[in-house]
Chain A
Amino acid sequence: GEDVEQSLFLSVREGDSSVINCTYTDSSSTYLYWYKQEPGAGLQLLTYIFSNMDMKQDQRLTVLLNKKDKHLSLRIADTQTGDSAIYFCAEKARSGGSYIPTFGRGTSLIVHP
């Protein structure tokens, strides 16, 4: 199957910027997503980017997409302790007539005061 790769851990100081990186393999992916999972909770959609876009900004979040290199990143500006969570990168790949979401293993973001 297709793979989505991301680093497992990221540690930053409060107030700094965080950058979480992801690589994917399916060039047919039309949408790429970032999800946030807080401890003991389900996954919440943070943001998404369409494959014909290079960048998307939403308040403190900036998503960059390099389609040639199949590289996706999520930048969180002015990181707060409440941003501590696991962040999942996901792609939506088509398999026949179905959409099969593939998730990375998740990056644990730890924010130090």
Chain B
Amino acid sequence: NAGVTQTPKFQVLKTGQSMTLQCAQDMNHNSMYWYRQDPGMGLRLIYYSASEGTTDKGEVPNGYNVSRLNKREFSLRLESAAPSQTSVYFCASIHPRGRPVGDNYGYTFGSGTRLTVV
């Protein structure tokens, strides 16, 4: 099925450990995004990639790095996890023209990665 796939779905880390959250989309989208969702805070943009080969900081980039490996894949890395990074992480992508086209419109989200840092 076409869509955005995130792995893993759940993860528990100890403070100081590192890990990479994976995201892949098969819709030929140019733009990809990483968000974190915390209670009462809504969705906050961590990093985004407007197209293959480019990445930019969002609202809350500190403590994270990203890699746009190819057009399909956009990974998020925590080099030294902290309890403040306990959150639900969502990856999203959007059509190249950035507007609804047929059924492929809006931002498509993955199902999320629930990360706990202890």
Contacts and interface: CB of A to CB of B under 8 A. Distances in A.
Interface string B74-108: 00000000000000001010100011100001111
B40 interface: yes
Interface residues of B, number: 27
B111 A90 contact: no
Interface in A66-100: 88, 90, 92, 97-100
A41 B112 CA distance: 7
Residue among B43, B105, B109 facing the most chain A CB atoms (10 A cut-off): B43
Q: For chain A, which range describes its interface: under 10, 10 to 19, 20 to 34, or 35 or more residues?
A: 20 to 34
Interface string A7-39: 010000000000000000000001101010000
Contacts of A48: 100, 105-106
Interface of B: 31, 33, 35, 40-43, 45, 48, 50, 56, 58-59, 90, 92, 94, 98-100, 105-112
